[in-house]
Structure 1
Amino acid sequence: MTKVLVVLTNHQKFDTINRATGLWLSEATHFVNVMKNNNIGVDYVSPKGGYVPVDPGSMDSSQYDEINHRFYDDAEFRNQALGASLKPSEVQAANYDAIYFAGGHGTVWDFPNNTELGLIAKQIYDKGGIISAVCHGVVGLLSIEGDTGKFINGKNLTGFTNEEEKINELTNDVPFLAEDALKNAGATHNASAPYTKNVVVDGRLITGQNPQSAEGVGEALIDALK
């Protein structure tokens, strides 16, 4: 059975302001919905395992669409993805055909330096699998080492832009800007207009710019798996 490993954040709050964060819900649900519609199995992992916080903003009425409602109303999703995600030590890369780093601001704290997740991603890729990510989740790519430096060095990709962070008014409240970090690691960052769908495919690397791109990343992954 084809299977995808979905990576979620454990980080629940901003360090500099009194504000909760975590997973941006649709970046998991919209992607996983595509997987389920194509009979692709999914497991969930996080840097620490266990509880995955959900960013309250992603539960706002403007964001809480039918797909979010259906997943959040499903006890299996809440228990497996949000309540009892796997630890990296519990994951065998050989069991997966692809990995997907979901976003949310929490990821900028616990994705970039997680060597265990980076190694799992590299092992999946080295056996012919696919690496994918969306929005702030693209900072998980920084944890992956390549043959000559960072895995993303010289690759085309996208991710949450400096402009989008400025619109959020959070530029000074994150430890770094995702777009800058990707560029500093040697990647070519391709941006579209803020909060519009943008999916970039570079071989077996698939990335999306923002929450509006999560479904598109899933669809591109299905095409690549075929």
Structure 2
Amino acid sequence: MKVLMVLTSHSELGDTGKKTGFWVEEFAAPYYVLADAGVDVTIASPKGGQPPIDPSSTTKDAETDATRRFDEDKELQEKLAHSKKLEDVDADDFDAVFYPGGHGPLWDLANDLKSISLIEKFNDQQKPLAFVCHAPAALANVESNKEPLVRGKNVTGFTNSEEDAVGLTDIVPFLIQDKMNQLGANYSKADDWNSYVLVDGNLITGQNPASSEKAAEELLKMLKNK
């Protein structure tokens, strides 16, 4: 089983002068769920090389078992530092794709033409697609049969109230919850910061960092059933 994991290459938090990127827990937890089950995981990003890590995801209160394991895992850190360029990967070579969040995807993956075409190809091939937290931003411009891929689908993602709680409502280019509703998705959510994952056909979405492990478990289940 081969899974492509796509991370953001965007590091600037709007014009705040602060840094953003991907959220460590949303990368590490799914990575280990998949790798421990024998899945071959390839990491890619729009620019290739080291994807930027959101500094907020490396603080003490963001620590989990998966992030602590990642902090000790020199092999995975090295693999991450040499992520492939998105333009050099092909959906044909993988059984599924997983997009971790962090705020970065709101700026680059939402509009990245290679990412958009990759997701469309995975979807055309009926392969599992998983997106956690802010990663559903990558679906903003993805189509299926000339309509938004998420139209009529049961989806979740980072909530407006969670965005408000982290103080970035006026900084981000758009809000995940609003965007999903605008695209005609059936958006729903659990209480803020609780694990919540939805599966609709081949599409898996998770609400927030706490949902990343379960999203990967759902992806694994889907792969094993194929």
Mark yes or no: TM-score above 0.5. yes
CA deviations over 1:188-223 (Å, ceiling 9, x no partner): 111110000000000100000000000010111111
Q: Which runs of 5+ in 1 are unaligned?
A: none
Alignment of 1:168-183 (within 5 A): 168-183=166-181
Q: Which amino acid in the other structure matches residue 148 of structure 1?
A: K
CA deviations over 1:152-203 (Å, ceiling 9, x no partner): 1111100001010011111111111111111111111111100000000001
CA contact (8 A) 2:4 2:44 kept: yes
Alignment of 1:143-222 (within 5 A): 143-222=141-220
Bigger shift: residues 204-213 or 49-58: 49-58
CA contact (8 A) 1:115 1:144 kept: no
Alignment of 1:1-226 (within 5 A): 2-81=1-80, 83-226=81-224
Distance 1:164 1:66 in 2: 23
Distance 1:211 1:191 in 2: 13
CA deviations over 1:83-119 (Å, ceiling 9, x no partner): 1211122102111111111100111100111121111
Give me the CA root mean square deviation. Answer: 1.2
Q: CA deviation at 1:24?
A: 0.4
Distance 2:69 2:25 in 1: 11
Aligned sequence identity (%): 36
Tell me the number of residue pairs that the alignment of Structure 1 and Structure 2 aligns.
224
Tell me, what secondary structure is at the counterpart of 1:193?
coil
Q: Which amino acid in the other structure matches residue 12 of structure 2?
A: K
Q: CA deviation at 1:64?
A: 2.1
Q: Which amino acid in the other structure matches residue 92 of structure 2?
A: A
Q: CA deviation at 1:58?
A: 0.7
Could you tell me the TM-score, scaled by structure 2's length? 0.95
Distance 2:83 2:91 in 1: 16
CA contact (8 A) 1:111 1:143 kept: no
CA contact (8 A) 2:46 2:87 kept: no
Moved over 6 A (4+): none
Distance 2:203 2:65 in 1: 29
Tell me, what secondary structure is at the counterpart of 1:39?
coil
Q: Which runs of 5+ in 2 are unaligned?
A: none
Q: CA deviation at 1:60?
A: 0.6
Tell me, what secondary structure is at the counterpart of 2:11?
coil
Distance 1:111 1:182 in 2: 15
Tell me, what secondary structure is at the counterpart of 2:60?
coil
Distance 1:99 1:143 in 2: 17
CA contact (8 A) 1:133 1:207 kept: yes
